[in-house]
Amino acid sequence: MVLFTVYSKKKMMYWSYIPHLSYSDSELLQNYCLEYSLNHSEDILLFVEHPCTITIGSKNNHENLLLNHQEMLNHKIELHSSSRGGDVTLHAPGQLVIYPIFNLRRYDKDILKWIRNLEMITISTCEKLNIPAKRNLHHTGVWVNNKKIASIGVKIKKWVNLHGIGLNCNNDLSLFEHIIPCGIEKCIMTSISAEKHTNYTPQDVIPIFIQSLTEKLNIHEKKHLSIESLHDLINLAFTKSM
C-alpha cells in the first residue's frame, strides 16, 4: 500500500481528456492552462494521447535516439525537443499522457517533492489495479518488477507545473526499441495491459488516476470539461485579463 501525507487545504480542479493531440499543440495548450492557473483558484488536469512521437528533454541526449531522420519518416514518428526535464522518451496512442497544470503555491514549493508525489499517485493508480508498482531509487518514474511502466518529466514555470507523466496502458511497447528510454541502458518497458494480461485503454485508467490524485492532493471538487468547454474556459480567462 502507498503511504503519503494528505494536504490539508481543500482544492478544486478541472480535468479534460483529449484523445488525439499533437505534441506541439499540447505544449501550446499547457501554456494557456498555465496562465489560467496563475490567475484562478482552480488547477487543470489534462489527459491526452499523442500520435507516435519521440521527445528529447533538457538533457538533449540525441545519442539515445536510435533512428536517423529517414528512418523516422519511414516509421511515421515525429521528433520534438521538449522543455521538460529528463532524457529521451516516446509517446504513442494507447499511452495515457497526464499533464497536471497545477500551481505549486497551493501545495509545496518543492520540485523534488512534487515529482515524488507524481510517482506516488501513479503507484497508487497501479496498486488499485493490483499491479505491484514501485519507485526506483536510482531513476525517476514508476516500475513493476524492474520494468518501467511510467515515465515522468516536468518543467516548473512561475511555480506552475508543465508536462508530467507517460503511463503505458495498451500502447505498442515495441516502439520503445527505437530509443534508449530515459537514457537507461537495457531498460525494459511494460504497460498496464501487459501486466494484467487484458486490455486496459487510457479511458479505463483515467477515473482510477483521478481517484488516486484527489486522495493524495486533497482535491475536494473536480469538474470534467469537454474539449470545447476547456477552450471556452481558457478563452474567457484571456478575455477577462485583457
Mapped onto helix, strand or coil, the DSSP state of residue 133 is: strand
Active-site option among 52, 126, 169, 182: 182
Measuring CA to CA, which residue among 4, 10, 13, 2 is closest to residue 218? 10
How many other β-carbons are positioned within 10 Å of the β-carbon of residue 217? 22
- Between the alpha carbon of residue 96 and those of residues 49, 91, 171, 203, 223, the distances in Å are 6, 9, 9, 8, 19
At residue 16, what is the residue type? S
Three cell numbers written together for 94: 494507447
169 assigned to active site: no
Three cell numbers written together for 3: 503511504
Q: Quick check: 153 and 25 in contact, CB under 8 A? A: no
Q: Quick check: 56 and 84 in contact, CB under 8 A? A: no
β-partners of residue 16 are 46
Three cell numbers written together for 49: 494521447
Residues recognised as catalytic: 182
